[in-house]
Structure 1
Amino acid sequence: MTAAVARDMIPADPTARRRHMRQRLVCPAYLEIDGLRPIICIVRDLSDGGARLRVPLDFDTDRPVALHVPELGWRRPVRIIWNQRHTIGVAFEAAAP
């Protein structure tokens, strides 16, 4: 991992709905929303199932969305699960065949 990426691992909280261990990080990324300019965001934590992102504005969309994290070298389709005051939770979608 690079210097800007994660600091520690946090076990899944049995009282929360998390199923995966999450990794706290501060890593720049982009939300790519079909038909719109990419939105710069910050990945705050990451798990096998999704991520928590800090975004510059509150939004929700029904358009296809991808999370692109250049520092980690990947781009994944995601679905917005929750949205709360400049922070969103996304779940990773299966890649289209």
Structure 2
Amino acid sequence: MIMSDRSNRAAERQRRVQPAKLKGASGAIFSCMIRDISVGGAMLRVPVGFNEKGGVHITSQAIGVDREARIVWQDRSSIGIAFRSVDLANAPPAEATPHRTARTGWCRESSISGAG
């Protein structure tokens, strides 16, 4: 198990619940869910037993992600990835996609952050 201190992130994360595909270094392709994302990386829900190491390629048509990344931490059903290059011009917009919260149901990111 690889773990890192998630509190010292360089960029603020945006909560998401969006489908994506991961292609591992082995060539295997996995369905996953983006749980949060920033310009520097993402946290993904992966199938239990996911055992890729090192580099991955993530794609998500839902939010326009098509990036090379490396796995920086992993637990039983989630991984943290760091994008190989930071592309500020193509960062996902904060209020582009609604997500579900336990307290309020469906909402947009801007309503969570207090911006809307």
Whether contact under 8 Å (2:17, 2:36) holds in the other structure is: yes
Q: 1:61 maps to which residue?
A: 53
Distance 1:19 1:35 in 2: 29
Q: 1:44 aligns with which of 26, 35, 47?
A: 35
Structure 2 SS opposite 1:76: strand
Q: CA RMSD in A?
A: 1.9
Q: 2:81 aligns with which of 86, 90, 94?
A: 90
Pairwise CA distance, 1:86: 0.7
Q: 1:20 aligns with which of 1, 6, 11?
A: 11
Distance 2:43 2:65 in 1: 16
Distance 2:31 2:52 in 1: 15
Percent of aligned pairs with the same residue?
Answer: 38
Counterparts of 1:65-80 in structure 2, within 5 Å, are 65-80=56-71
Larger Rg: 2
2:15 maps to a residue whose letter is: R
Give the TM-score normalised by the residue count of structure 2.
0.62
2:43 maps to a residue whose letter is: R
- Moved segments of 4+, more than 2 Å: 34-37
Pairwise CA distance, 1:35: 4.4
Q: 1:31 maps to which residue?
A: 22
Pairwise CA distance, 1:18: 1.0
Greater percentage in helix: 2
Give the gaps of 5 or more residues in structure 1: 1-14
How many residues of Structure 1 are paired with residues of Structure 2 in the alignment? 80
Give the gaps of 5 or more residues in structure 2: 1-5, 87-116
Greater percentage in strand: 1
